[in-house]
Amino acid sequence: MSDGARELPSIRIEPLTREAYAPYGSVLAGPSNPIASSSQIESKTVNQGTASKFLSLGSLISTYPSDAQPAPALLHIFRCAPRFSLKPSSSPSSAPAQFEIKVLERHRHTTQAFIPLTSDTDAQEGYLVIVALPTNDNSSSPDLSTVRAFLASSTQAISYHPGIWHHPMIALGTVGTDFVCAVHESAVRPELDCDEVFYEGAGAGAQPPVVLLS
């Protein structure tokens, strides 16, 4: 890491809960997950008594203008290589001490959901969710004072509200993770699908906080 990066403000990773994450999006996880939520999730029994349906954990939203239609809801697979492991290791270089945020992106007109598809092994450690609110004037820049980092388990899915800035997916562990991605995309105006802000090489005044990993 550069000396300039080490002097920047830092934030610590926090557990992903529905309440803490609510300004940024939705956490999709059943109540059997102890960190899914501390509040009651409405449910009902379905499928001849063989399943529980947990209701209204999130929404799929599209606000694409008429000249960007059609903008259908699509399902993609993101196959994400692991960035690093957060577990203690005999190798001192297995995980950096901090993670530099070099890019943030947003989808102005659509929610975007990520649903992990994982095998239940120690090699997959969930994923890191880095988010930020838009500025008050909803300009093309995120409000860097609102950057937060959440640790999601492999049994939690997340969605981003339209317009929420976020880092591209950060898979953790020593093997890759597949994610189902649900998102609306314009078939005729793809420039409306995603905005990006890059910070690599920017001055310290424009750089978001670094995320402390240890």
pLDDT score of 33: 53
pLDDT tens string 93-147: 456 789 999 999 999 999 999 999 986 577 889 999 999 999 987 678 899 999 9
User: Could you tell me the residue range of the domain that residue 145 belongs to?
Assistant: 3-29+59-212
Q: CATH number for the domain including 189?
A: 2.60.120.480
Coil, helix or strand for 1?
coil
Structure tokens at 137: 């004037």
Do the Cβ atoms of 142 and 101 come closer than 8 Å? no
Distance spanning both ends of the chain, measured CA to CA = 15
In a domain, 54, yes or no: no
In a domain, 89, yes or no: yes
In a domain, 115, yes or no: yes
CB atoms within 10 A of CB 199: 15
In a domain, 42, yes or no: no
- Please provide the average confidence, as pLDDT, over all residues in the chain: 87
pLDDT score of 95: 62
Residues 6+ apart with CB under 8 A from 99: 83, 84, 128, 170, 210, 211, 213
Those residues of the chain that have pLDDT short of 50 are 1-6, 34-38, 90, 92-93
What is the C-alpha to C-alpha distance for residues 158 and 26, in angstroms, rounded to an integer?
6
In a domain, 46, yes or no: no
In a domain, 167, yes or no: yes
pTM tops 0.85, yes or no: yes
In a domain, 156, yes or no: yes
Coil, helix or strand for 13?
strand
What is the C-alpha to C-alpha distance for residues 192 and 69, in angstroms, rounded to an integer?
11
Number of domains in the chain: 1
In a domain, 139, yes or no: yes
What is the C-alpha to C-alpha distance for residues 183 and 112, in angstroms, rounded to an integer?
5
